[in-house]
Amino acid sequence: MGSLPRKIEIREANQALILEAAEKIFAMNGFKGATTGAIAREAGLPKANVHYYFKTKLDLYREVLRYILSDWMSAASTFEAHDDPAEALRTYVTAKMAFSRKRPYGSRVWAREIMSGAPVLEEFLGTTLKAWVKERTGIIRCWIRAGKIKAVDPQALLYMIWATTQHYADFERQIIILNSGNELSESRYRQRTRQVVDLVLGSVGLTSQVR
Amino acid sequence: MGSLPRKIEIREANQALILEAAEKIFAMNGFKGATTGAIAREAGLPKANVHYYFKTKLDLYREVLRYILSDWMSAASTFEAHDDPAEALRTYVTAKMAFSRKRPYGSRVWAREIMSGAPVLEEFLGTTLKAWVKERTGIIRCWIRAGKIKAVDPQALLYMIWATTQHYADFERQIIILNSGNELSESRYRQRTRQVVDLVLGSVGLTSQVR
DNA sequence: TGGTATCTTGACCCAACGGTCAACATACGC
DNA sequence: GCGTATGTTGACCGTTGGGTCAAGATACCA
């Protein structure tokens, strides 16, 4: 199948397998609570094999976070795709909701890392994310000065968007239980995404055009 | 000092000491990641003493959750304190923000429990909380029918309020790092509380009277 | 086909874990 | 003061944890 040497194929396939298993186990139990044995079991490999591809548990954890970060940043980049605040916010919130749906484990690993004091993500938060926030709050301030949206605190708005969208990943279990044990269907989730968009737009004084 | 027998005094004081320490350690590392040794160290007691007051780690964990729940429910009860939606929402959001400020560890233990699949809280969520949500969404639907607020999805609104207010406890570390390493001062936090209230009111079409 | 680099794995090591226990200390009713 | 119930603690136990290793299997190049 693949044209590249089989050895490399195997290596990448196994690494991906382990990373995916690790993301799930770390999401479930956090860094300290996760065991390399559980990760190996989840991946269907012997423990020693996990340690062959990733020297230590911390190395593996760092790799998982790096993997999540790349997806997070690509959702983040949708923010400035539009000039119009309504369109920009709608696109961003929709992208974040999609991320929560597609990678709930990733979101939970992130949340647990922060709750543990962000020992690994500290540097990223203090540099890349901080710069991102500064830029984005600048854009929001522009919108306010231009009278395009209500005068809200940009950071409070950003945090509300993060919190609300990530809630659907991090608290998925709670949402399911409150929904009588049923997962939100694909169509219900799309509907909910629209409702969240409407709430966010409403919070800055923009009424959704559809209604 | 105390008029009640010293033995009981000692017992309650030690239990409270251990519970507080446990809440912090569980918040930091989750159930599996936390160790009874770490809890004992945090409480300034030998490990065996912790096991004297709480038979197993799971017992202690359950007790910590029960302790948190009582505070959570008292914040929840502020919801129906007012007839006017603006006043009710303001009061509720303010109470939840105060809870996040006062008991950040409790909020994080809750979050971690849910992310682990809610093995212990499952029953509470499926009964008490579910009933609470049903009642509250009913109230919100009333407001909508009466034309007092915009027609938003009640559950989506509730989840947004939970997510946003709990974000200030669960992601405290991230917020601090994004704030150049400084905690939000008491006055900044009060200001932020008002900003969050404004966003929530805005999302349902109510403009804060103050502005 | 033979040699080398990479992959696979059961067995193993030691530290740390949750939990127990027996010996001792303290408080309190009598 | 004396006996008993409660509180305190270092030492200990069996298990599980992260990580290692050496011996074998597999893929690749010449």
Which B residues in the span 109-128 are in contact with A, Cβ-Cβ below 8 Å? 111-112, 114-118, 122, 125-126
Does the distance separating the beta carbons of B153 and A195 come in below 8 Å? yes
Residues belonging to chain B: 211
Q: Is residue A119 part of a domain?
A: yes
Give per-residue pLDDT as tens, A179-194: 999 999 999 999 999 9
Q: Is the pLDDT reported for residue A80 higher than 90?
A: no
Q: Is residue B210 part of a domain?
A: no
- Whether B112 and B193 map to the same domain: the answer is yes
Task: Give me the pLDDT at residue A74, please.
Answer: 85
Percent with pLDDT over 90 in chain A:
85
- Whether B50 and B125 map to the same domain: the answer is no
- Whether B72 and B47 map to the same domain: the answer is no
- Whether A175 and A76 map to the same domain: the answer is yes
Q: By residue range, what is the domain housing residue A6?
A: 1-54
Q: Is residue A60 part of a domain?
A: no
Taking residues B148-164, what's their average pLDDT?
Answer: 97
- Whether A48 and A78 map to the same domain: the answer is no
Taking residues A106-116, what's their average pLDDT?
Answer: 98
Q: Which of A145, A163, A147 is nearest to A200 (CA)?
A: A163
Q: Is the pLDDT reported for residue A173 higher than 50?
A: yes
The rounded distance, in Å, linking the Cα atoms of B104 and B72 is 12
Q: Is the pLDDT reported for residue A210 higher than 80?
A: no
Separation in Å: C23 C1' and A29 CA? 39
Is the shortest CB-to-strand distance from B162 to strand D under 7 Å? no
Q: Is residue A142 part of a domain?
A: yes
Q: Is residue A61 part of a domain?
A: no
Q: Is residue A185 part of a domain?
A: yes
Is the shortest CB-to-strand distance from B52 to strand D under 7 Å? yes
Q: Residue B112's domain is classified under what CATH number?
A: 1.10.357.10
- Whether B97 and B50 map to the same domain: the answer is no
Structure tokens, B205: 């079409």
Q: Is the pLDDT reported for residue B101 higher than 70?
A: yes
To probe the interface with A, which of B115, B183, B193 has the most A CB atoms within 10 Å?
B115
Q: Is residue A62 part of a domain?
A: no
Q: Residue A22's domain is classified under what CATH number?
A: 1.10.10.60
Taking residues B164-183, what's their average pLDDT?
Answer: 98
**B125, B171, B207 ranked by CB distance to A174: nearest:** B125
**Among A33, A54, A75, where does a domain finish?**
A54
Q: How far is CA A37 from the centre of its chain?
A: 26
- Whether A76 and A154 map to the same domain: the answer is yes
Which residues 6+ apart lie within 8 Å of A125 measured at CB?
A118, B174, B177, B178
- For A111-169, what is the HEC assignment? HHHHHCCCCCCHHHHHHHHHHHHHHHHHHHHHHHHCCCCCCCCHHHHHHHHHHHHHHHH
Task: Give me the pLDDT at residue B81, please.
Answer: 66
The rounded distance, in Å, linking the Cα atoms of A21 and A39 is 6
- Whether B106 and B197 map to the same domain: the answer is yes
Task: Give me the pLDDT at residue B211, please.
Answer: 38
Phi and psi, residue A119, nearest 5° = -60, -35
The rounded distance, in Å, linking the Cα atoms of A20 and A18 is 5
The number of domains in chain B is 2
